């Protein structure tokens, strides 16, 4: 895999539900907007042969399959893109790396720190073989957040004092919502903490460029039993909500909260960063906007500026449509894969790395550790 | 063409610039989200052989071509999708209809009422042959506006008193912006009036379900000469801005304004409808939101409700992602084509019809007529 | 009256309803926030002796009275502040000027252009006697709009292309709302046109510093009869809504609309100004905010900046509370009276002048003239 | 004091800076808007004879004085309103209660729990004597928050899951901002925690009607030294920011954060409450608005409703102006005093009580205790 690819890069996506559909869309469209190495939608893999075949046809795949191990042995598959439930990430990623494949894995990287560590270590070895791997923290690729990152990196915010981030949904607000595998700890690892908290933690670390030194945190389950399809009640074994207050290596304070029981919020990832020189705010429900306060604006004219991040000069978005034409949520996957393909072509480091996934996992574990200790401070 | 299609519906898109790219995206993706007859991206047509070939490859077309007349003769082309400058709409659409093809044509339908009338008449004949045709007023397919339409149709707004609509951009705000064919009357027909005003007029008519009885209007060009590529100055022969006040058949008042010189507005289509029982507002820069005021809410609790139109039960959008995951501008093309393909399959009337395009053209012409008469009232 | 006042300036307010209450509040409080000549709440005048006495006590007046002519003869009354229905403005203002008093009169200045002309002329004579007079276009004194004015005056907007202004309320939306004197032409002069349109026209002229050269306009009454207190139906003889499109002397286009039947809008005065170099927007329902787009901000960082106009350095507002503590609607009256008292003390010209009131009246009359002529263009 | 007052209630305000000015405004205006017992602005008290005399004249007081103890002995003073720095609250309030006066004291009630306890106990004794006392948590009297309280009390939110509250300012963001007494612990008690956190905690307890069972918290000082007027650097001994995560007695989670170093926020008190049936949000920078999500709205039409709390039927605000005319920050003091005067007249319990002030003090102390213990959970 260390030599330039003379043929199209063949892609296999494992999983065909929500994430499989979103990843398929990105593979189908990335070449139409970005100058990337040629890719081929080689095979879509799932457990149910009939359903995965139907999905493959809908989503533009040449073939479908049910045996991910067999797919790893194919020479025409160069990229393995893991969209399964978290419980399978560890096994598939290790096998794919061993098979010499490039790897994309959905977030969170794994269900435990130990798994994540092993996966990250395995990649460090594979990297010397020219392989690439990323954890799909796709919100880094929201154009407005890419602008945010640039402003922070350029020192426009100065020292960061406060980060306030919340990721709130409401699909578990109703106690009558049914039981699913996502609410069983052995399958999902955790609840809102892993699902939503992993995005939030990655954004904090990525955007600030700092480390979390310590945190206090907690988790809570509002609805402890939910109806199964046969009408019985089953215990919910993951959290509905989680939170933390963390200290950044640069001295800033992070308040973080995630919930699937915040009625009225559908996919509300709200972020505020307050620095000594500038401040930012962002909301995923209006993902094309970034609000920027610049203390160097003239006195009397200062205020949060609503930047509609849809201009030709803005990151990613100029590849789509003329100024002012907004993009949607799934476009972030296209951007992520474009970055990934570009780094493969150029032999540069692919990001977000599995090490990034590991450090997120450590922070999530620290929240659970703090919670178990009654909210005591935990050092990372 | 009047019998059910046993083979995939072959599509030819004529034009590969902004609109060609957007239409290609919709053809490439429609089947992944909607249950529609099978389609094939048969051929992309443009004048420059090399460029159209490159575009065809990027955008997923099997072939490219430079001769649209030849394409009309192909048996494997069933849908002709016209994305050329307005000056060519009339000729291509008439020819495509004569060749028995289904037709999609970008807005505005034509550069003159006479052309539009002829095209609409031609389709009335072709319709008996089982052909389908639409003008691509894609904003009808914004989910939030589809909800707006439903609320109006259900009587939730009551009698409509005021419609306020503006479509504001700023790409011509700077006098140094260069001359383009869009600023030459003989090629573009008109300026902001046709480009933006056609959308605005169609939305007013579509959403209210009423007619415009009369209007007063005007047009204006702020920058009368612009630099050409060779540095000379060329006269701008279209409007930068246009406006009208119109009376609806139901007694309501419409204030409409469009401009390409409204600094700070990138693609700002803002709509307000005030009815006797309810009111609505919408902005294309946040196209996933509809604001609804319901006078039947309890006293003391009334207010504009921000509906994030991203739920499974909302029109179109449930076919994409879970609640709260916003879609972008180009998704409206997917929805439009899904509706079109469905109407072909079901043999129902396709909309927006060429007759809809004609009535918009008449309103735009009335604005110019009123403008020429110093703003006098003009009856439609 | 032409010499400096050695005693407190005695104030008489004529009228004790909505406007009388608001003006009383401003007289009661102006000295607490602004360094102005000493004033005394000398007398509150109304027709109903008992009610005006009660109001006078509530609102802090030393006395009440029912005879405004007698009040004009008092030596301890220096300022006559007219808060009556429009039909009385002309008579009282002329008499007050003749009696050598300073005058404040509510907007609109008069019910007809002829009255307004006579009042303005009368003041031109009185002015040489050291008298001062203003029409109370209080929205000029919203701090955010004072900042807007400063930005325009400093050239930050450049040439103005578009002004969009609407003033929308909904208290007449319901057809069951009862008849009042405000809906009778002989008493109120006009409806939304004079009541709301006068504010809108004054703001356009004041903020742009330009003239209206010509306009087309219209008026409409949605509910033509309303129930009286005895249950009968009485004809409404004023407009519910009015609109105009005007050409400014500098070449800009104004779209203006006012209504008392825009359901969901309580006191929505929305203003947008688009210039060649900068743009502004404002909404009276959030009157502490001004949104400013500056084309000289760095590329990629441009956007409308939400300036919370509550800082020490902002006009007027620094006299109230620390940064960020918002003020309310009636504070604009305090600012207006502070300006008025200061101009009396300093012998400078008081504004908004009766001539300003006259030019607004002319524009309103032009709207009615255009409406009567079926919307034809009218030159001012 | 236990018998009905036959004379006006004489008021003494101690302190004439920011709070003294705001309280003066409320005393000067309360009778103009609310039917309350007659009050008299008897005396304004401060340390600097000349300055307090000037302030008294500006703010409408009959007299000024420098000796608060002497004022407590006056028979014509019935209400003592304490606007001094926190360090004096304890002594003055105890003395005023001992002198048989009604008492208003600014928040936070005291600098320590012990002081607050003693003050609350003293009032319990005085209460039997017919005396009244409140801590001025004025934000309870924001009309929008009074509506919020009503909705919660009526069960419209159901069980409360999440409360998110932040109170962010930026006047200490700049490290060059000078030293003041507010940054010395011995005088101010604490920093943002007491000043802003007391408001936040009171709102949480008041609005939910629940207790805080336990919390984890922290405090931080970003700028540890600041320049004094003589150019030297002095150590800052209070916090710039504080935060807590608290568990409500009903099972909900509170995330709270306050800061004076959140650049771009001037007076941003943002509140969100998520319940099982409904949710609310509010921002003090737009204090006339309440956003309410009602899960019982029809499916597909749900969303946060922007209620402009300015209608005749809304609490307090109907006493001011017609619908849609917004009020400002200081109006909350008028509402508070109207409630206080009404409770004195009616002999009902005055609120917010000193016991309310004490429980807030306990929560603030718990935050400091948790902070001192490295963020461990503290039971209240």
The enclosing H or E element of C105 equals strand C102-105
| Chain A environment of C308 (Cβ under 8 Å) | 303
Instruction: Report the alpha-carbon angle B313-B315-B321, nearest 5.
Output: 70
Mean local confidence (pLDDT), D106-119: 96
Which chain D residues are within 8 Å of B300, Cβ to Cβ? 147, 307, 311, 313-314
Res. D5: pLDDT tops 90: no
| Whether the Cβ atoms of residue C266 and residue C285 lie closer than 8 Å to each other | yes
Task: Say whether residue D270 is in contact with chain A using an 8 A CB cutoff.
Answer: no
CATH of the domain at B82: 3.40.50.720
Q: Does D299 touch chain B (CB under 8 A)?
A: yes
Taking the alpha carbons at both ends of chain A, their separation in whole angstroms is: 36
Nearest to C190 by CA among C251, C258, C133: C258
pLDDT above 80 for C1: no
Nearest CA of chain C to the CA of D213: how many Å?
33
Tokens of A170: 């409401």
> Which of D117, D138, D159 is where one domain is finished?
D138
A299 touches C at CB < 8 Å: yes
Nearest to C263 among B170, B218, B274 (CB): B274
Identify whether residues A163 and A303 lie together within a single domain: yes
Q: Give the span between the Cα atoms of D241 and D194, in whole angstroms.
A: 10
Cα–Cα dist A279/A282, whole Å? 11
Rounded-to-integer distance, Cα D163 and Cα D157, Å: 12
Q: Nearest-5° angle of CA C298, CA C299, CA C305?
A: 65
The whole-number pLDDT of residue D2 equals: 41
Same domain, B129 and B31: yes
Task: Tell me what pLDDT residue C201 has.
Answer: 98
Whether residue A4 is predicted with pLDDT greater than 50 in this model: the reply is no
| Domain housing A17 | 9-138
Name the domain boundary from B122, B137, B152: B137
Concatenated DSSP letters for B300-359? TS--EEEEE--STTSTTGGGTSSTT----TTHHHHHHHHHHHHHHHHTPPPSS-HHHHHH
- Number of alpha carbons in the 13 Å side-chain half-sphere of residue B197: 33
CB atoms closer than 10 angstroms to residue B226: 18
| pTM confidence score | 0.97
Residue with tokens 């607004």: C360
| Tokens 């509170």, residue located | D254
ipTM reported for the complex, 2 dp: 0.96
Residue D248 has pLDDT above 80, yes or no: yes
User: What stretches of chain A adopt beta strand conformation (E)?
Assistant: 9-14, 39-45, 63-65, 79-82, 102-105, 133-135, 160-168, 212-220, 225-227, 233-235, 241-248, 253-259, 268-275, 278-283, 289-294, 304-308, 378-379
- Smallest CA-to-CA distance from A249 within A279, A209, A218 is with A209
Torsion sign (Cα): A110, A113, A115, A116 = positive
D323 touches B: beta carbon within 8 Å: no
CA distance to partner chain C, nearest, from residue A289 (Å): 10
Give me the residues paired with residue D212 across strands. D248
C280-305 pLDDT, tens digit each: 999 999 999 999 999 999 999 999 99
Last residue of a domain, one of C138, C158, C190: C138
Contacts of D374 in chain A (CB under 8 A): 376-377
Name residues whose C-beta falls within 8 Å of residue C290's C-beta, 6 or more positions apart in sequence: C144, C145, C147, C148, C280, C281, C282, C306, C307, C309
Q: Is residue D334 part of a domain?
A: no
Convert the pLDDT of each residue in A27-63 to its tens digit: 999 999 999 999 999 999 999 999 999 999 999 999 9
What is the pLDDT averaged over residues A103-116? 96
CB-count exposure of residue B100 (10 Å: 0-12, 13-18, 19+): middle
For C317-375, the pLDDT digits (tens) are 999 999 999 999 999 999 999 999 999 999 999 999 999 999 999 999 999 999 999 98
pLDDT, averaged across chain A: 96
* C119/C165 same-domain check: no
Please state the rounded mean pLDDT for residues A99-127. 97
Is there a contact between B109 and B116 (Cβ–Cβ < 8 Å)? Answer: yes
Q: Each residue of A174-227: pLDDT tens digit?
A: 999 999 989 999 988 999 999 999 999 999 999 999 999 999 999 999 999 999
Residues D16 and D56 in one domain: yes
pLDDT tens digits, D67-102: 999 999 999 999 999 999 999 999 999 999 999 999
Both D156 and D56 in one domain: the answer is no
B272: in domain: yes
Same domain, A163 and A304: yes
Q: Is residue B236 within 8 Å of residue B179, measured between CB atoms? A: yes
The reported pLDDT for the residue numbered A175 is 95
Q: Nearest C-alpha of chain C: how many angstroms from D330? A: 8
C-alpha to C-alpha distance for D293 and D275, rounded to whole angstroms: 10
**pLDDT recorded at residue B1:** 41
The answer to whether C169 faces chain B, any CB pair under 8 Å, is no
Per-residue pLDDT band at C20 (split at 50, 70, 90): very high
Please tell me if residue D177 touches chain A, with a CB cutoff of 8 Å.
Answer: no
Residue A26: strand, helix, or coil: helix
Q: Is B264 close to C220, i.e. CB distance below 8 A?
A: no
Q: Is residue B377 a part of any domain in this protein? A: no
Cβ contacts of D293 on chain A, cutoff 8 Å: 263-264
Q: What is the mean pLDDT of each run of 10 residues along chain B (380 residues)?
A: 64 96 98 97 97 97 98 97 95 98 97 96 96 98 98 98 98 95 91 97 98 97 95 95 98 98 98 98 97 97 98 96 96 98 97 98 97 93
| Structural domain total, chain D | 2
Residues of C within 8 A of A302 (CB-CB) are: 305, 307
Same domain, B130 and B269: no
Query: What pLDDT is stored for residue C6 in this prediction?
Result: 56
Any CB–CB contact under 8 A between A308 and chain C? Answer: yes
Q: Which of C266, C308, C328 sits opposite D328 (nearest CB)?
A: C328
| pLDDT, chain C, mean | 96
Residue B230 within a domain: yes
pLDDT at C315: 97
CA distance D263 to chain C (A): 12
Find the mean pLDDT for residues A309-333: 97
What chains are in contact with D, requiring at least 3 Cβ pairs below 8 Å?
A: A, B, C
Contact list, C268 vs chain D (CB under 8 Å): 324
Q: Answer whether B304 touches D (CB < 8 Å).
A: yes
Whether residues D100 and D147 fall in one domain: no
Q: For residue C95, what pLDDT band results from cuts at 50, 70 and 90?
A: very high
Task: Decide if C18 and D285 are in contact by the 8 Å CB cutoff.
Answer: no
CA dihedral (A27, A33, A34, A39) in degrees, to 10, reads: 30
User: For residue B4, is it within any domain?
Assistant: no
Q: How far apart are CA C200 and CA D162, in angstroms?
A: 44
- B46 and B181: one domain? no
Contact A297 C305 (CB under 8 A): yes
Distance CA A59, CA C380 (A): 64
Residue B78: HSE in the Cβ half-sphere, 13 Å Cα cutoff: 22
Task: Provide the CATH number for the domain around residue D366.
Answer: 3.30.360.10
Indicate yes or no: CB of B60 within 8 angstroms of CB of A327.
no
Residue A324 with chain C: CB contacts under 8 Å: none
Burial class (CB in 10 A: 0-12, 13-18, 19+), A174: middle
B272 and B162 in contact (C-beta within 8 Å)?
Answer: yes
Q: How many CB pairs under 8 A join B and C?
A: 127
A220: which chain D residues are within 8 Å (Cβ-Cβ)? 253
Interface test with C, best of A143, A288, A294, A305 (most C CBs within 10 A): A305
Same domain membership, residue C221 and residue C162: yes
CB nearest B324 (choices: A59, A285, A310):
A285
Domain assignment of residue C4, yes or no: no
For residue C353, being part of any structural domain is answered with: no
Asked if the Cβ–Cβ distance from B274 to C259 is below 8 Å, we say: yes
Residue D246, in any domain of the structure: yes
D144 shares its domain with D133: no
Residues 6+ apart with CB under 8 A from A369: A378
CA atoms within 13 Å, Cβ hemisphere of D69: 1
Residue C331 touches chain A, beta carbons under 8 Å: no
Angle at which helices D49-59 and C18-33 cross, to 10°: 170
CB pairs A-C closer than 8 Å: 45
Cross-chain Cβ contact A321/B329 below 8 Å:
yes
pLDDT at C2: 41
Maximal CA-CA distance, chain B: 66
Mean pLDDT across the stretch C30-36? 97
CB count in 10 Å sphere of residue A233: 11
Rounded distance, CA A136 to CA A114, Å? 19
Does one domain contain both C34 and C147?
no
D305 — contact with chain B (CB < 8 Å)?
yes
């Amino acid at each position: 895999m260390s030599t330039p690819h003379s043929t199209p890069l063949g892609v296999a996506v494992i999983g065909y539900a929500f994430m499989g559909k979103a990843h398929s869309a990105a593979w189908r469209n990335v070449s139409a907007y970005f100058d990337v190495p040629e890719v081929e939608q080689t095979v879509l893999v799932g457990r149910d042969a009939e359903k995965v075949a139907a999905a493959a046809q809908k989503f533009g795949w040449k073939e479908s399959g049910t045996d991910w191990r067999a797919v790893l042995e194919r020479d025409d598959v160069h990229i393995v893109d893991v969209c399964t439930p978290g419980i399978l990430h560890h096994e598939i990623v290790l096998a794919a790396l061993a098979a010499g494949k490039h790897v994309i894995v959905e977030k969170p990287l794994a269900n435990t720190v130990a798994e994540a560590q092993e996966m990250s270590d395995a990649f460090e070895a594979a990297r010397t073989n020219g392989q690439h791997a990323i954890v799909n923290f796709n919100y880094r690729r929201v154009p407005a957040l890419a602008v945010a990152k640039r402003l922070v990196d350029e020192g426009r915010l100065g020292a960061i004092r406060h980060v306030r981030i919340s990721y709130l949904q409401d699909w578990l607000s109703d106690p009558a919502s049914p039981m699913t595998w996502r609410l069983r700890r052995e399958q999902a690892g955790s609840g809102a903490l892993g699902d939503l908290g992993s995005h939030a933690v990655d954004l904090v670390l990525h955007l600030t460029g700092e480390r979390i030194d310590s945190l206090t945190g907690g988790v809570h389950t509002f609805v402890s039993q939910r109806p199964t399809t046969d009408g019985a009640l089953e215990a919910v074994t993951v959290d509905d909500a989680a939170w933390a207050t963390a200290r950044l290596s640069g001295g800033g304070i992070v308040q973080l909260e995630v919930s699937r029981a915040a009625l009225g919020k559908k996919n509300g990832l709200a972020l505020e960063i307050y620095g000594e020189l500038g401040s930012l705010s962002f909301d995923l429900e209006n993902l094309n906007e970034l609000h920027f306060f610049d203390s160097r604006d003239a006195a009397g004219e200062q205020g949060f500026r609503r930047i509609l991040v849809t201009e030709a000069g803005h990151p990613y978005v100029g590849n789509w449509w003329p100024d002012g034409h907004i993009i949607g949520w799934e476009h972030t996957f296209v951007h992520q894969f474009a970055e990934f393909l570009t780094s493969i072509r150029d032999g540069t480091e692919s990001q977000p790395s599995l090490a990034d996934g590991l450090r997120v996992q450590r922070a999530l574990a620290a929240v659970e550790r703090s919670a178990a200790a009654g909210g005591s401070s935990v050092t990372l």
